Amino acid sequence: MKPSARVATFSDGGTVRRVAVVGGGVAGLTTALKLAEAGVPVDLFSSLPVRRSTSVSAQDGVHAALDLRGEGDSPSAHLDDSLYAGEFLAHQPLVLGMVEAAPQIVNVFDRMGVPFQRTAEGQIDLRPSIGASFRRSAYAGATTGQEVVYALEAQVRRFEQELVTSDRGLSMPGEPMIRKLEYWEFLRLVRDDAGICIGLVAQDLRAMAIKALPFDAVVLATGGFSSLFGRSNPSTSSTGSAAASVYRQGAMFANPEFFQLTATALSGDSRLHAVAESARSLGGRLWVPKDQKEPRSAREVPERDRDYFLERSFPGGKLASGALAARAIFRLCHLEERGVYDPKSGKNESVVYLDLGHLDAGSARSGLGRALTAYARLSGIDPLHEPLKVLPATVASLGGLWVDYERDARGAPVACSPRNHATSIAGLYAVGEVEYQYHGAQRLADDALLSSAYGASLCGAAVASYRAAMARSAFDLPRSLFDKEEKAAAEEYAALLSQNQDDARAENPYRLRDELVELMERDCSIERDNAVLDQALDKLSAIAERATHVKVPDSAPRLNQGAPFVRSLSHALVLARLVLEASRARNESRGGHFKPQFEARNDAAWLRTTLAAHAEGAPASFIRKFDYACAGKSVQITDEIDTSLLPVRPRKES
């Protein structure tokens, strides 16, 4: 389906006033559904078919304190686990709202048809997960994200068949409640003279046509940007370009230095493939041979010759967090050179063994499902009979666009406040991994899908409230405002296609991207050092200068993949600089951000949000407070964390 620049009107003179949701994962689909249920027509943009969104790769389950085994689990225990895992850098009211809503969210997914694993009695089965005090994870094998996306997409299809109706009950032919626009890429916002978001500019990735369209509000649900790192798990489509674009237009960014690490990723041909954290929570064990030059295969190494290094180094180390386990593997492989030995090369690889062979085969297949088949295909071995070779990787960005919330007297979010998930640009909202606020410095793996679904329910209600309070609709503004933006974007695209085409020494954008992700992986991933970060910033400046000499390798008028890639490289350079600068500024260790120079967590100085404002061609401005407007009201924001519900306590790693 293609969007139309015309404004649809009913026979009684009413206008169809739409909201744009950009992103087709769990956050985007849920937001679109909540808006449609509230009677708000939606255009749902996605650069891929929604069934191929990054959310489908979420292997772990959905946390909810259902307490079906009578173990004593509760939302308060879930709150404690989530805040402690995030090292208290998440705003507590939002996490409270999330954990209280979790059981209902799981039950709704169940009614939608998500095939959660069942007990013999027919109840939803709950499995343990790393960092959780109780069995709390509702799961569909290790493909829970895929099943949730498919269930949500089926609900969206229902609204694609339902026509928009006016206040008088008149229907509009050709105007469904949800209009799905796949293969459209967000380029930038359209803003009025007051800086309010009144629409967006997007490009059809098949015909390469560019359109500027009016919307009463725009919701970004475009995912994170952890593909900045060489060893990362997300799809290469998770570039962070939409977040970078609106950041460059003035949206505040928060906590860009924080990323989620996993200790267990399989090396693939094009990218890494994470092994579900549930593989360890089910009993999988990490080890290396005690002999640094062990020539035998993993199956031939007896128990007495294995070093279960996590269990040896940390109390409860078998279930150590992804960040802690990743650092342990990094030190083992790179500092002690005790990774798995390769007799062919005569070198120790930067990998360790993940052993599932001692697990009950039935329980493992129940808990991991089709993922076991995927691991076997990727590794060439049966993971239930031979250990997998795994290595640390970046799996998610925890920082993102700054978004707001409003709390009530009890300490929970106000359900329909227009401030919930509002960015610093009026009319622009963000939800899911593109924003920052639910996980702090580290997340519980099974809180990922939950936070996207809960955040979307808050965001949908907030956008409906914002739209109801609008003094003037974007659909009442002159079309010339949008034609101007459309023309400017088309000219920029034409310039992109033609730049450096006659330069025999033009830079290859794909090679530059490889250099960028290698730089970020080497100098700003598992361990960070201020002197190294300073050098990385200088190297990044050199890459950015070379990027001005790239040329688009594809001149096709349709289905041109080269031009969007070059555009995303420009945004990636902006995000990389922001990550490096924020990492350099935070002189402590918290969650996945680890500095050996500052190994302690410093709550006195750094129990606060990193707030960043963009300055084109200059370092980011890190600020302590700012004002923004939402629904006609001015709000002052500071970098203080709301810790009113649970006392901050130190971490225990040893």
pTM for this one?
0.95
Instruction: Please check whether residue 467 is in contact with residue 70, taking contact to mean a CB–CB distance below 8 angstroms.
Output: no
What is the bridge-based pairing of β-strands 210-214 and 197-204? antiparallel
**CATH superfamily entry for domain 19-257+398-477:** FAD/NAD(P)-binding domain (3.50.50.60)
CA distance 223 to 246: 14
CA distance 425 to 250: 7
Find the helix packing angle between 361-368 and 371-379, rounded to 10°: 100
- Determine if residue 240 is left, alpha or beta; phi over 0 gives left, psi from -120 to 50 gives alpha, anything else beta: left
- Report the pLDDT value the prediction gives residue 34, as an integer from 0 to 100: 98
Distance of CA 438 to the CA centre of its chain: 11
Phi (first) and psi of residue 558, to 5 degrees: -130, 155
CA distance 192 to 196: 6
On the CB side of 312, how many CA atoms lie within 13 Å of its CA? 11
Length of the chain: 654
Residues of the chain with pLDDT under 50: 654
CA distance 358 to 393: 25
- Report the pLDDT value the prediction gives residue 13, as an integer from 0 to 100: 52
β-partners of residue 638 are 625
CA distance 407 to 463: 17
Reply yes or no on domain 265-394 having CATH 1.20.200.10: no
Provide the token pair at 82: 């989530």
How far apart, in Å, do the first and last CA atoms of the chain sit?
56
Reply yes or no on domain 483-605 having CATH 1.20.58.100: yes
Instruction: Please check whether residue 337 is in contact with residue 292, taking contact to mean a CB–CB distance below 8 angstroms.
Output: yes
Provide the token pair at 639: 């970098």
Q: Could you count the other beta carbons within 10 Å of the beta carbon of residue 115? A: 14
- Report the pLDDT value the prediction gives residue 654, as an integer from 0 to 100: 40
CA neighbor of 310 nearest in space, from 392, 408, 187, 406 = 392
Instruction: Please check whether residue 391 is in contact with residue 428, taking contact to mean a CB–CB distance below 8 angstroms.
Output: no
Same fold, 19-257+398-477 and 483-605: no
Instruction: Please check whether residue 53 is in contact with residue 46, taking contact to mean a CB–CB distance below 8 angstroms.
Output: yes
Domain ranges of the chain: 19-257+398-477, 265-394, 483-605
Provide the token pair at 221: 């649900």
Q: Could you count the other beta carbons within 10 Å of the beta carbon of residue 473? A: 15
Mind giving me the DSSP string for 143-198?
A: -HHHHHHHHHHHHHHHHHSSEEE-TTS-EEEEEESEEEEETEEEEEEEE-TT--EE
- Report the pLDDT value the prediction gives residue 76, as an integer from 0 to 100: 97
Mind giving me the DSSP string for 436-484?
A: -TTTTTS--GGGHHHHHHHHHHHHHHHHHHHHHT-SS-GGGS-THHHHH
CA distance 421 to 429: 6
DSSP structure class, residue 317? G
Provide the token pair at 438: 């639910």
